[in-house]
Amino acid sequence: MVRKADPFRDLVNLSEMMSRILDDEVHHRLGQRDSTQADWVPEVDLVEFADKFVLKADLPGMEKKDMLVEVVDRQLVLKGERRLQRAISDEKYHRLECAYGKFRRVFPLSAEVACGQVSATYANGVLEVVLPKIKNSHPKKISVHCEIE
């Protein structure tokens, strides 16, 4: 399959890579390393419908036990780890282009989610998460009264 070049995707990937490099350098100079920092960034599609959000994430070669989906404060958090399976034999890698290690993605959501109804399926290397919206989830208006002396 031939894949068309997408300069915008390349730009986003470059931006994320530069951000990780700069973060690593800052943490190295400060003698710190954030244990939640991502080693790679899986590609996702996040689509909003009138009644739900649907996230699809490309996570080939992963096991269900190595991924976690959470909804926290109107944010969808996707994290996990893809491990490199090494055999005992003497292997000689000529290329190792697939990304391995920990990842963490956070997606702000524009509406409240019915957490008890969230469902996730994982098949053929794709994680699909369906997040139903809470009906009548309108922003709450709060009146503010203040007195000036």
pTM over cut 0.85: no
Which of 110, 114, 112, 130 has its CA nearest to residue 122?
130
Residues 2 and 61 in one domain: no
- 127 in a structural domain: yes
Residues 10 and 68 in one domain: no
Domain housing 48 = 38-84+94-136
pLDDT of residue 109: 93
CA-derived radius of gyration, the chain:
20
Would you give per-residue pLDDT tens digits along the chain (149 residues)?
666 777 777 787 787 777 777 766 665 555 444 445 578 889 999 999 999 999 999 999 899 999 999 999 889 999 999 988 776 567 777 877 788 889 999 999 999 999 999 999 999 999 999 999 998 755 556 667 666 65
Which are the contacts of 104, defined by CB distance < 8 A and separation ≥ 6?
36, 37, 38, 77, 78, 79
Residues 29 and 73 in one domain: no
